[in-house]
Amino acid sequence: MTDVLRRGRASLAFSFFAQGVAFALLVTRIPAIQDRYGVSDGLLPAFLAAVPILAGAGSVCTEHLVKRVPPSHVLRWSQPVVLLALLGVGAGDGLWELGLALAAFGLAVGALDASMNMLGVSLQHTYGRSIMLGFHAAYSLGGIVGASLAWAGAHWDLALFVSYLPVVLVLVPAALVGSRWYVDGSGPNSGSKEAQAADSVGGGAGGASGTGVGFKLLLPLCLVMAIAYIGDSTVSNWSAKYLQDVLGSSEQLATVPYNVYMVTTLLGRAVGDLGVRRFGAVAVVRVGAVVAAAGFAVVAVAPGAWVGMLGFTLVGFGLCVIVPQTFAAAGRLFPGAADAAVARLNIFNYVGFLIGSPLVGALGDAWSYRGAMLVPMALVLVTLFYARSFASGPSRYGDGHERPRTADVGRGSNGL
């Protein structure tokens, strides 16, 4: 494998890492943001919902933008905007400033998430073997680092701007320098002339012909993506409350499950590519779905806090493999329109995030929080019915049919 590919893979992994840091710094300091701007409890959900909604819009815009410019260019400039918008969240005083910063953050995050995964899918095609889980492992590592920095800022009672500034000063130049080595690749790419005809969700027959993104073929992966993020948002938003209010843990112990969940996603993704290469994507996704469902079942029946934490740990190990493999499967399904497929699939990341937390909260209030945990459990099992979608397409990475590696790297990304 050429040095160009190695540098491209390393620089893209750093981009995933930086995104994990930025997102964790935002979501883990929400109480501090609320206090700084005087956002009421009634208004807070509107601000929080605006970010994934605008991110979805950013992903849609990216699908059309990459018909004219390479995804590497979108990633190169969207990442600094995300980081600067994060700094803006910490620097403002009025609600309009918070709204403006979050709007910029949301739109740029949508473009960033879509373009990162486009490059990841393209690089995986060029490598001829599964590497997507490694990129998402870098994101998980960034989330752990970001959450740790946020804890330090809260522990030392640092102002948000003071807490965010050193991170932004380090990551923005590093991301710009690293962007010199992004590789758009020679793999599935919607930038091709054939794929540019696919400018609507229902356009084209899709599949291996590369003439468009057929909605019927993409829909199962969209459902799987939304389900995965419903499960993820359940853990991130409700694990602490569940342990404390339902399982009777201390406030300090209640903060542990999400940290453990992040560590398990890192560990699972770090070794997940090996599993895909050995057993195939279909088997890995099926095992992940079963393990995640078992984790939610353990949480629902847990007699105490420690068993509950075991359940959330299992959820992390199970869910961590599904999202990266869903993006990879979109690239295999639409080898001539992968960028468009990834951009559209990425929208359902935010759909799941928007649905998950309110769904569990409403069911918990109307029924019981133990019963509410059975809902993501049942939804995750739906993934089993769509597992064959992860093997579709001519490039069946990891299904016992690895392609020989190729040094054809297509377009490189040079200069800032």
Domain 188-400 class in CATH: mainly alpha
How much is the mean pLDDT over the chain? Answer: 87
For 1-15, what is the mean pLDDT?
92
pLDDT, tens digit (0-9, with 9 covering 90-100), for 242-290: 998 999 988 778 878 888 898 999 999 999 999 999 999 999 999 999 9
For 76-95, what is the mean pLDDT?
96
Taking alpha carbons only, the member of 174, 204, 233 closest to residue 23 is 233
- Amino acid letter at 344? R
Residue 196 in this model has a pLDDT that exceeds 70: no
- 20/140 Cα distance (integer angstroms): 6
DSSP 403: P
Question: pLDDT tier at 185 (50, 70, 90 boundaries)?
Answer: low
Question: pLDDT tier at 415 (50, 70, 90 boundaries)?
Answer: very low
From start to end of 150-236, where are the E strands? 183-185
For 113-137, what is the mean pLDDT?
95
Q: What is the pLDDT of residue 397?
A: 44
Collapsed DSSP state (helix, strand, coil) of residue 185: strand
Question: pLDDT tier at 6 (50, 70, 90 boundaries)?
Answer: very high
Which residue bears the tokens 């130049």?
173
Q: What is the pLDDT of residue 208?
A: 42
For 175-192, what is the mean pLDDT?
73
- 8/14 Cα distance (integer angstroms): 10
Q: What is the pLDDT of residue 186?
A: 54
**Greatest alpha-carbon span in the chain:** 59
Q: What is the pLDDT of residue 151?
A: 85
CA distances from 271 to 122, 143, 228 (A): 21, 18, 19
Q: What is the pLDDT of residue 400?
A: 45
pLDDT, tens digit (0-9, with 9 covering 90-100), for 31-75: 889 899 999 878 888 888 899 999 999 999 999 999 999 999 999
Residue 195 in this model has a pLDDT that exceeds 50: no
What are the backbone dihedrals phi and psi of residue 345, each rounded to the nearest 5 degrees, phi first? Answer: -65, -35
Taking alpha carbons only, the member of 178, 121, 129, 23 closest to residue 346 is 121
Q: Which residue has the higher pLDDT, 415 or 298?
A: 298
CA distances from 322 to 133, 176, 206, 223, 288 (A): 9, 30, 22, 12, 7
DSSP 197: G
Residues forming beta bridges with residue 412, ordered by sequence position: 183
To the nearest whole percent, how much of the chain has pLDDT over 90?
69
Q: What is the pLDDT of residue 202?
A: 38
Compute how many other C-beta atoms are within 10 angstroms of the C-beta atom of residue 294.
18
Residues forming beta bridges with residue 183, ordered by sequence position: 412
Residue 155: exposure state from Cβ atoms within 10 A (0-12, 13-18, ≥19)? exposed
Residues forming beta bridges with residue 185, ordered by sequence position: 410, 411
- 210/190 Cα distance (integer angstroms): 8
Here the tokens at position 201 are 């969700």
Question: pLDDT tier at 1 (50, 70, 90 boundaries)?
Answer: low
Q: What is the pLDDT of residue 213?
A: 79
For 185-196, what is the mean pLDDT?
44
For 357-368, what is the mean pLDDT?
90
For 372-388, what is the mean pLDDT?
96
Compute how many other C-beta atoms are within 10 angstroms of the C-beta atom of residue 280.
20
For 102-121, what is the mean pLDDT?
97
Residues with Cβ within 8 Å of 397's Cβ and at least 6 positions away in sequence, in order, are: 124, 128, 129, 130, 276, 277, 281, 328, 332, 403
Q: What is the pLDDT of residue 203?
A: 40
- Amino acid letter at 91? A
**Taking the domains of the chain in order of start, what are their residue ranges?**
1-187, 188-400
Question: pLDDT tier at 401 (50, 70, 90 boundaries)?
Answer: very low
Give the helix/strand (H/E) hosting 411.
Answer: strand 411-412
Do the domains 188-400 and 1-187 match in fold?
yes
Overall fold of domain 1-187 = Growth Hormone; Chain: A; (1.20.1250)
- 226/13 Cα distance (integer angstroms): 24
Residue 270: exposure state from Cβ atoms within 10 A (0-12, 13-18, ≥19)? middle
For 140-156, what is the mean pLDDT?
90
For 172-199, what is the mean pLDDT?
67
